[in-house]
Structure 1
């Protein structure tokens, strides 16, 4: 029996060490992610870009993006991820956008269902207009994953993040609020998935590029 316990201990010891390293790395990474996200502020100055993309689904995103378009920080605006049943006129009315500006310079994507879809549909729009510099508007907690997906989809385009700060996700409040912690943890896990997908895509691209010369 003692020999059996000794064998089990010998087997589980490296597993326990690896699990502990994983948990520690996950926790440190989560804290670093939260620190980065909750310290984000809306930029005091915004460079002029070719276009603007706003990813739907969060607080004040569309209104902020329309404001940037109105201030001529981009030539056109893509609202990505609009519900298929939402009418253009209703969206213009809800966002209080100027009708002339909305009709001339705002495009709507109703196909994207998630951030990966946002990146895919945004890439089509960017290529259609031959843009090279694009402002990306989304909430602060969503910026890292959005930038990862967009950069993976279009590595030759310069994406400029414009975080819209959620009131409960600032440096002072997030750690005290259960809802904020839940949002950050969910987003962190999704961000890790995006980074893993980017790493796999990069490895596959590198492998394909190396094959002809072998």
Structure 2
């Protein structure tokens, strides 16, 4: 019996050590991710780009993207992830955008249901317009995962992040805010999954759009 316990102890020691290392790595990575996200600010200046993409689902994203289009930071805007039942006129009215601008220069994607879908539909739009530099508008906590998925879908395109800072995710004491901590932790886990996909299955540059569309 003593020998059995000794063998079990020898087996579990490296396993326990490995688990501790993984937990520590996860915790350190989460802290770095959270600090990076909560320190993001909307850029004072935006470099010129061919187009603009906004991913729906968060605070003030669409309004910010339309403002960039109005200031001619891009030639066209794609609003990705609009609910299928939302009509163009209703979206234009809700965002207080100019009707003429909506008609001439704004495209709507109603197919995407998540960030992977956003990247897939954005890749189709970018390829159709032959764009090379695209501004990405989404909330700060969502930006790392969005950039990872878009870069995976179209590695030859230069994506320029424009984070919309969610008010309660820019506070210095975020670690004490239960809801904020939950949002960051959930997003960090999803970000790790995106990075794992990028590492395990990186698309070839010339087949990126096709590989993304098969998901």
- Tell me which residue corresponds to 2:62: 62
Q: Deviations over 1:131-178 (max 9, x none)?
A: 000000000000000000000110100000000000000141421211
- Tell me which residue corresponds to 2:150: 150
- Tell me which residue corresponds to 1:186: 186
Q: Deviations over 1:70-96 (max 9, x none)?
A: 000000000000000101100100111
How big is the shift at 1:205? 5.0
User: Does 2:127 correspond to 1:93?
Assistant: no
Equivalence map 1:66-77=2 (5 Å) = 66-77=66-77
- Tell me which residue corresponds to 1:212: none
- Tell me which residue corresponds to 2:22: 22
Change in Cα spacing, 1:180 to 1:205, as seen in structure 2 (3 Å) is same
- Show structure 1 runs of 5+ residues with no match: 207-214
- Tell me which residue corresponds to 2:81: 81
How far apart, in 2, do the equivalents of 1:80 and 1:173 lie?
32
- Tell me which residue corresponds to 1:3: 3
How far apart, in 2, do the equivalents of 1:136 and 1:56 lie?
11
TM-score (norm 2): 0.93
Alpha-carbon contact 1:133-1:159 (below 8 Å) kept? yes
Aligned residues: 205
Change in Cα spacing, 1:22 to 1:64, as seen in structure 2 (3 Å) is same
Secondary structure of the equivalent of 2:113?
A: coil
- Tell me which residue corresponds to 2:210: none
Secondary structure of the equivalent of 1:168?
A: helix
- Tell me which residue corresponds to 1:113: 113
Alpha-carbon contact 1:35-1:171 (below 8 Å) kept? no
- Tell me which residue corresponds to 1:210: none
Q: Deviations over 1:20-78 (max 9, x none)?
A: 00000000000000010000000000111000000000000000000000000000000
- Tell me which residue corresponds to 1:209: none
How far apart, in 1, do the equivalents of 2:106 and 2:13 lie?
59
Q: Deviations over 1:2-24 (max 9, x none)?
A: 22211110111110010000000
- Show structure 2 runs of 5+ residues with no match: 206-215
